[in-house]
Structure 1
Amino acid sequence: MAVERFSSNKPFPFSDIVKANGFIFLSGQVSMAQDGEPLKGSVAGQTQCILDSIETTLSRAGASLNDVVRVQVWLSDMAHFTEFNAAYSTRFAQGFPARTVVASKLAFGVDVEKYWR
């Protein structure tokens, strides 16, 4: 099996992307600066920051948000669900991927994390 890894520029031990057998797998992402500093703020702002980062990451592998088939979302509290949905729904011009949203305590005290396939 051919595997291609795209390393992360952030100071953590993971690949941003792994391509294997025609599939693209992205590491989970939170709103974070390139130096690894968490970017807090509103849930909408964190969501837009993550989506911007995901678009940039996908482009490194020759893909876009239109190629995403599955998203796993973690929110720090389901009370953020409406604000998250409002921000998330603005970015998928060709329809939404399958998605699951759960609540969990998140690293760095952020409110949103996403995992993409």
Structure 2
Amino acid sequence: MTDKIAITPATHTDPPAKFSHGVRKGNILQVAGQVGFLPHVDGQEPTPAGPTLREQTLQTLENVRSVLEAGGATWDDVMMLRVYLTDTTHFEEMNEIYNAYFEEQNLKEVPSARTTVYVGLPGDLLIEIDALAVLG
């Protein structure tokens, strides 16, 4: 049986509850929901990348990427992304930002399957994204 390995990149704060930013077991890596917080600075509270959907979406994708990399994966290993938005009117804009981001990643294929749902998030957060990757 393969052990579960918790993944927390140096750019991330410790999670606010008993979970990991990512967990790898064998060749499967689950990235927990990431939000648009800027990289961690000792002594500072987590800070959103900015008030706009664009700023938060780009930072959220970078935060997912950093967990993937810390777990030994890349965007090419991602099988599923789940996007959580706080406002249904953000769907079209988020898709434009999402498509442009992945066009810049030079992926071999389309990034993955994807689901988008609408939720409430704390504070001024507008978006959360989680990912499932299969390595190898």
> Normalised by the shorter chain, which TM-score bucket?
0.7 to 0.9
Runs of 4+ in 1 over 6 A off after TM superposition: none
Query: 5+ unaligned residues in a row in structure 1: which ranges?
Result: none
Within a 5 Å distance, the mapping from 1:1-117 to structure 2 comes to 1=1, 2-7=3-8, 9-11=12-14, 12-13=16-17, 14-33=19-38, 34=40, 35-92=45-102, 93=107, 94-117=109-132
TM-score by length of 1: 0.88
List alignment gaps of at least 5 residues for structure 2. none
Aligned length: 117
Q: Select the structure of larger CA radius of gyration.
A: 2
What's the TM-score, normalizing by structure 2?
Answer: 0.77
Q: Deviations over 1:43-95 (max 9, x none)?
A: 12211111111112211111111111111111111100111001111233321
Work out whether residues 44 and 86 of structure 1, in 8 Å CA contact, stay in contact via their aligned partners in 2: no
Give SS of 1:18's match.
Answer: strand
Deviating more after overlay: 41-50 vs 87-96: 87-96
| Post-superposition offset of 1:3 | 1.1
Identity %: 26
Q: Which amino acid aligns with 1:40?
A: G
* 1:32 CA drift (Å): 0.7
